[in-house]
Chain A
Amino acid sequence: METSRLLGGFEHLLLLAILRLDERAYGASIRQLLLDQAGKDVAVGAIYTGLDRLERKGFVKSWMGEPTAERGGRSKKFYRLTADGKRALHQINHAIRGLSAGLEGGVTRV
Chain B
Amino acid sequence: VSESSKPPSAALAILNFFRSDPDFGAMIGDLTEEFHERAESFGARAARLWCWKDTFRNAGALTMREIMRTPVRTIVTAFSCVLAINAVTLSYLLYGGAASFNLSRQWRTLLFLQFITPLVLGWVGARLLRGREWALALTYTAASICYVGVGIAVIGLAMSPAAALRLARPLWPLAVWGNGFRQAAFWLGCFLAMLHGRSRGLFKNASKQFFSIALCATIGGVALLGQAATAPQKMSGQWALDVEKSTFGTPLAPGMPAGFKITGQTLKIDPTEREIRLSGDTLYSDSRGPHSAHDNNTLSLDGKATVLGPISLSFRAVDDSAFEILSQLKAPGRNIEEVSRFSISSDGKTLTETKTQTEKGNPDDKAAIKSSVTVLVFRRLPEQ
Contact = CB atoms under 8 A, between A and B. Distances in A.
A8 B33 CA distance: 28
B26 A52 contact: no
A43 B58 contact: yes
A104 interface: no
A28 B34 contact: yes
A2 interface: no
B175 interface: no
Interface residues of A, number: 24
Nearest to B28: A74
A23 B184 CA distance: 47
Nearest to B58: A45
B26 A27 contact: yes
Contacts of A43: 54, 57-58, 60-61
Interface in A41-80: 43-46, 48-49, 51-52, 62, 64, 67-72, 74-77
Contacts of A26: 26, 30
Contact of A75 (B7, B26, B54): B26
Contacts of B32: 70-72, 74
Nearest to A70: B36
A60 B62 CA distance: 20
Interface of A: 26-28, 31, 43-46, 48-49, 51-52, 62, 64, 67-72, 74-77
A13 to B, nearest CB: 15
Interface of B is mostly: helix
| Most A Cβ at <10 Å: residue of B26, B27, B31, B34 | B26
A48 B28 contact: no
Nearest to B15: A45
Interface in B257-288: none
Interface size class of B (residues with CB under 8 A): 20 to 34
A93 B143 CA distance: 40
Nearest to A71: B29
Interface of B: 1, 5-7, 20, 23, 25-34, 36, 54, 57-62, 64-65, 68
Given A43-B54, A52-B23, A76 B29 contact: yes
B57 A74 contact: no
B348 to A, nearest CB: 56
Given A43-B61, A74-B26, 18 more contacts: A26-B30, A27-B27, A28-B33, A43-B54, A43-B58, A46-B58, A49-B62, A49-B64, A52-B23, A70-B36, A71-B36, A72-B1, A72-B6, A72-B28, A72-B29, A74-B25, A74-B28, A74-B29
Nearest to A62: B23
A62 B64 CA distance: 22
A67 B32 CA distance: 12
A75 B36 contact: no
| Most B Cβ at <10 Å: residue of A69, A71, A75, A77 | A71
B169 to A, nearest CB: 45
Nearest to A67: B29
A77 B62 contact: no
Contact of B1 (A44, A52, A62, A69): A69
| Most B Cβ at <10 Å: residue of A28, A43, A68, A77 | A43
A55 to B, nearest CB: 9
Nearest to B40: A70
- Top 5 nearest A-B pairs (CB, nearest first) are A74-B29, A45-B61, A45-B58, A77-B26, A43-B57
B120 to A, nearest CB: 31
